Chains A and B, each alone.
Chain A
Amino acid sequence: MLKRFNIKPWQLILGVVLLGVWIYCYIANTDITNSVVASGMRFGMPLALAAMVGIMCERSGVINIGIEGTMLLSGFTGFYIASWSKNIVAGLMIAILTGILTSFVHAMMTIQWKMDQIIAGTIINILASGLTSFLYKQGSTIPNSWPIFDIPILGQIPFIGHAFFTQQGPIQYLGLILIPAIWVMMYKTRWGLRTRAVGENPGSADTAGVSVIKVRMINVMFGGAIGGFVGGFICLELVGSFSKEFTAGSGFTALALMIFGRWNPMGAFAAAILFGLAQALSTQLQIFGVTNIPNQFITMLPYVFTIVVLAVSAGKVRPPAAAGKSYEKEQA
C-alpha cells in the first residue's frame, strides 16, 4: 500500500499525528475545529489548484513560474466581465479563456521560440502586473457571489462531513473533483503516459512517435485553463472582488507545494491543505488574541513555512528530468 502510492514513512507519521491532533481538537471543541478545518480548505484550495497548473506544465517538461501572472490576468478579466455583464458564469468562462490565452503566449515563448523558461514566466508575471494595474478601475462590483451551500448527503457524514462538504461555494466543491480527476488523467490514461514520457525523456518519446511540441503545447494551455479557473475562483467566489496584486506570491507558494507534493496531484493537494490549515490556525490565533506575537510575524508564517517545507523536501525529490529544457529535434 505504501509502495503502491509512493508514500514515505515520515509522511505517514506526519499524517497520523495530524489526524490525532484533529481528533483531539474535534472532541475538545467541535465548532471551532470544524470552522478552522473549513477555512483551511478555503485557504488551501486555490493553492492546490494553482499547483495543478505547475504539475500540468512541468510533467510535460515546461517550468511555469508565470502562474502568478496567469491568475492575476484571468482574475482581472473574469471580474470585470462579470461586473459588466452582470453574469458570474460569463466571468468565469472569460477567466478560463484568459488563462488559456496567457499560457498560449507562455507556450509560444518556451516551446516554439525556445526561450529560457524562467525568464518567460517572469515576463508573463511582469506583463500581467503592468496590464492589470494600469487598467484597474475602482468601485466595480459583481452582481452576487454564488450561494454558499451544503452538499446534501456528504455533509451529513459525522466527523469529516461538516468540515469538508458544508458552507462552501460551488467552485470549491468542483476543485474536490478536479484534483483527483487530474491524478487519474496523469497516471491512468494514454495522455498522462505521453505527458510523463515527454517530461522525462523527450527524445525517446519523439522516437516512439509522440509529438513533443504538441504534447507540451496542449499541456501548457490546459494548465493555463486551470490557472484561469483559479483566478476566476478567487475573484468571483472566494473574495468577490479584484484588487491589484491580489495573488501576492501565491503562484510561487503553489510551486513550492508542487515540489513538496513531488509533482503528484494528490501530493500537492495534501500539501496545500496542510498549508491552508497552518494559515487558518494562525488567523484563528489572531482572532482570539491569545498571543502577544506582533501581527507582522503572523503574516510572515506562510512564507517561513514554505521555505522550511522546501528545505526539508526539495533535495530529496526528483523533478521531471526534462523540466526546464526546451526540446531540439535531433537532425538526422
Chain B
Amino acid sequence: MKFKITRDALVPIASVLVALAIGAILIAAQGHSPMQAYHVLIVKGFQSTSGLQATLSKAGILIISGLAITFGLRAGLFNIGAQGQVLSGALAFTYIGYRLHGIPMWIHIPIALIFGAACGALVGGFAGFLKATRGVHEVISTIMLNSIMAAIVDYLTQNQFRLQGQPNTRTPDILHSARLPHIFGYPTGFIIAVLLAIVINWVFKRTTIGFELDTVGRNRSASWYAGISVKKSIVLGMLVSGAIAGFTGGMFSSETTGYFVPAFYSGIGFDGITIALLGRANPIALIPGAIFIGGMRSAQSAIQFEAGVSPDIINLLLALVLFFATAPFLAKLIKSNAKTLTTTSGWGS
C-alpha cells in the first residue's frame, strides 16, 4: 500500500479546499465573515506556539483513535462505535489514575494505560465475539454498545467513581504520577501516537498475524480456503481495535483532561472514523489528516468566541472533506487512480 505523493495526495488537499469554499458560503449565509473565521482557524490551530501545542496534543489522540478504526478496517471490520470503547478506556484509566497511590510514574502510567486498553478491548472484543459466533454485524452491535457504555459510564461517574462534595458530577483528579509529562511544552502523546502508527504499519507489513488479518479483510472466503481462521481473525481484529480505542481514552485523560467527565470525550471515536477513511486505512498515511483535524478541533472554541461562528462549523467542514475525499468524482477530475476503500461488504458473517 504505497501512498503516492503526487496525484493521490492532491485528492485530500482538493477536498479540503472545496469543503472550505462551501463552508465559506454557509458562514456568509449566516451573516458572519468567512475570512475572519478561517483566519482564527489558522492562527489558533497552526500558527501560534500555544495553538500548535494544543493541535499536536489533540492530533496525538486522534492518530490513535484513527489507528483503532484502521486496524479494524484492515481486517475487514468497521468499528463504527469506537466511541464506547474510548469512554470505557478513559474511565478505567481515570480510576487507576486516582486510586493507586505512591507508585512511580514509569509504573503508574503503563499500568493505567494497559488497564484502559483492556477495558476497551473487552467492549470491542465482545462485538467481535458476537460477530464470529452469532453473525451479528459489528456496525449495529458497536453502535448499540456505544449507548450502553455511555449509560454505564454515566452511572459509575454519578455513583461509585464520583468525587464527593462537588456540585458537578466528576471523578477525583488523576494523580500527578499518572499524568503524561510534556517535553518543552510539547505533548508526549503525539510521539507515542506516531510510534504506535509505525508499529501497526510494521504489524501489517511484516508479521504473520498482520498478514492473516489483512488477507481476511480483503477476501474472507479465500482466506478460509488458505486455512486462516476467519473467526479468530474477526475476534482478534475487534479486540485490538477496541484496545487501541481504549488506549485513546486513557491517553486523553492522562494528557489533557486530568479527570473524567463523559462530555470531554465526545467525538473522539467519530473523528477516528473520518481520519481512518481519509488515510485510506493506511496507518502512516492517516497522520497528516489527524494533524489537520487536530488543528480544527483545537481552534473550535476560538472560532465561536472570536468570529461568532457556531463551533459546529468544524463538524460540517470535516463531513464535507470526508465526502469529497471518498466519493470518486474529485479523484476522477484530478485523474488520481487511488483505489476506493472497502469494508466488510454485506451482512454475512
User: B265 at interface (Cβ–Cβ under 8 A)?
Assistant: no
Q: Judging by beta carbons under 8 Å apart, are A310 and B340 in contact?
A: no
| Bound Cα distance from A123 to B346, whole angstroms | 17
Q: Judging by beta carbons under 8 Å apart, are A127 and B319 in contact?
A: yes
Q: Are A306 and B144 also in contact (CB < 8 A) when A127-B320, A130-B318 are? A: yes
Q: Contacts of B136 on A, CB cut-off 8 Å? A: 307, 310-311, 314-315
Q: Contacts of A296 on B, CB cut-off 8 Å? A: 151-152, 154-155, 158
**How many A-B residue contacts, CB cutoff 8 Å?**
151
Q: Which B-chain residue is minimally distant from A294 (CB atoms)?
A: B155
Please encode chain A, from 280 to 298, with 1 for each CB lying within 8 Å of some chain B CB and 0 for all others: 0000000000000010110
Q: Judging by beta carbons under 8 Å apart, are B315 and A133 in contact?
A: yes
Task: Find A119's partner among B133, B141, B143, B326 (CB 8 Å cutoff).
Answer: B326
Q: Which B-chain residue is minimally distant from A69 (CB atoms)?
A: B319
Interface residues on B, range: 35 or more
Q: Is the interface of B mostly helix, strand, loop or mixed?
A: helix
| Bound Cα distance from A135 to B146, whole angstroms | 26
Q: Judging by beta carbons under 8 Å apart, are B319 and A129 in contact?
A: yes
User: B10 at interface (Cβ–Cβ under 8 A)?
Assistant: no
Task: Find A303's partner among B148, B158, B348 (CB 8 Å cutoff).
Answer: B148
Interface residues on A, range: 35 or more
Q: Contacts of A118 on B, CB cut-off 8 Å? A: 78, 139, 343-345
User: B47 at interface (Cβ–Cβ under 8 A)?
Assistant: no
Q: Contacts of B313 on A, CB cut-off 8 Å? A: 134
Contacting chain A: which of B236-244, B269-277, B284-292? B269-277
Q: Contacts of B144 on A, CB cut-off 8 Å? A: 249, 252-253, 256, 303-304, 306-307
User: A211 at interface (Cβ–Cβ under 8 A)?
Assistant: no
User: B219 at interface (Cβ–Cβ under 8 A)?
Assistant: no
User: B312 at interface (Cβ–Cβ under 8 A)?
Assistant: yes
Shortest C-beta distance, B168 to chain A (Å), equals 17
| Bound Cα distance from A14 to B329, whole angstroms | 50
Q: Judging by beta carbons under 8 Å apart, are A119 and B341 in contact?
A: yes
Q: Judging by beta carbons under 8 Å apart, are B343 and A119 in contact?
A: yes
Q: Which A-chain residue is minimally distant from B342 (CB atoms)?
A: A116
Q: Contacts of B133 on A, CB cut-off 8 Å? A: 315
Q: Are A314 and B344 also in contact (CB < 8 A) when A126-B322, A134-B312 are? A: no
Which 9 A-B residue pairings sit nearest by Cβ, starting from the closest? A324-B346, A130-B319, A315-B135, A130-B316, A296-B155, A130-B315, A133-B312, A300-B151, A134-B312
